[in-house]
Structure 1
Amino acid sequence: MKQQVNIKKLDDRAIIPTYGTAFSAGADLYACMDHAVTIAPGETYLVHTGISAAIPEGYAGLIYARSGLATKKGLAPANKVGVIDADYRGEIMVALHNHSNQPAEIENGERIAQMVITPFLTAEFVETAELDETERGAGGFGSTGRI
């Protein structure tokens, strides 16, 4: 299934998102910077991509870590999963956090995250005095699977 997403380059050096393989769920996002940046351990840095997007109505762009960048450099989005709403037209930026104990460098043109375009439902929240009962009930945080 394909969905057209219009992309606008805000910087001539920007790279349009690409898929690594025909079956990739996430399209790679690329850094668009004047120079390489070193992110210190425990630091978060806002990396520009130089692009904006028109996500179709009823869809969202979800920004996830690239597994290679996370495992090799310890860099992943600070907010774990970024959300690009359909009505946002500003630059897509990724807040990369260095989870490692070593400085990590990001260079212009480097793949920094991946974007998954996905449909979503908007809930209608209705206040009620009671909820239906389930076997699990209010058990949470590791409560399932207990004997």
Structure 2
Amino acid sequence: MNLFNVQIKRLPGNEDIQLPQKMSLLASGFDLYAAVNEPIELNPGQRMLIPTGFCLAMPSELEAQIRPRSGLALKHGITALNSPGTIDADYRGEVKVLLINHGLDSFIIERNERIAQMVFQEVPKVQLIEVDELEDTDRGAGGFGHTGTK
């Protein structure tokens, strides 16, 4: 298994914000924390971009994916839009999380609250080759719902 070094830079004014961390030995994701200056109310149906207080520099072989936290989704209906969100290796801006409230009640996002998780994935090198015809398969052009009965 490869070990990749990912640089992380805490942004000024966020010295008190937890840096991403795994919450168990075998966790695949690093929990991300809200770097909001004051509590923010996220109303039902509302979406908001939440800062995390850090930037990354990762090798070109990696991407970071932003994913919801299952506990927030189950208990409050809070999830990440554009999930998984992709952070490309050449992005150097602040990592932010696009949250939405699918719940029935308002949800307060506090400073340093766990809001999402970040999973790193290797990105394969892919070359697209334009052709006039594609090889046939049993599925063919069957799309959404084509392979299941329900």
TM > 0.5 fold call: yes
Question: What is the aligned length?
Answer: 146
Which of the numbers 28, 35, 39 marks the counterpart of 1:36? 39
Which 5+ residue runs of structure 2 have no aligned equivalent?
none
Residue 136 (1) aligns with residue 130 (2):
no
RMSD of equivalent CA atoms: 1.2
Q: Percent identity, aligned pairs only? A: 42
TM-score normalized with structure 1 length = 0.94
User: 2:96 — aligned with what?
Assistant: 93
**Residue 145 of structure 1: how far off its partner (Å):** 4.2
Residue 6 (1) aligns with residue 10 (2):
no
> Structure 1 CA distance, aligned partners of 2:23 and 2:43?
28
Partner letter of residue 68 of structure 1? Answer: G
Preserved CA contact (<8 Å) 1:14 1:51: no
TM-score normalized with structure 2 length = 0.92
Q: Deviations over 1:48-103 (max 9, x none)?
A: 10000112111000000000011111111121211010011100000111111211
> Structure 2 CA distance, aligned partners of 1:68 and 1:111?
10
4+ residue segments displaced more than 6 Å: none
Partner letter of residue 25 of structure 1? Answer: S
Which 5+ residue runs of structure 1 have no aligned equivalent?
none
Residue 124 (1) aligns with residue 127 (2):
yes
2:5 match: secondary structure: coil
1:49 match: secondary structure: strand
> Structure 2 CA distance, aligned partners of 1:44 and 1:100?
12
User: 2:52 — aligned with what?
Assistant: 49
**Residue 126 of structure 1: how far off its partner (Å):** 1.6
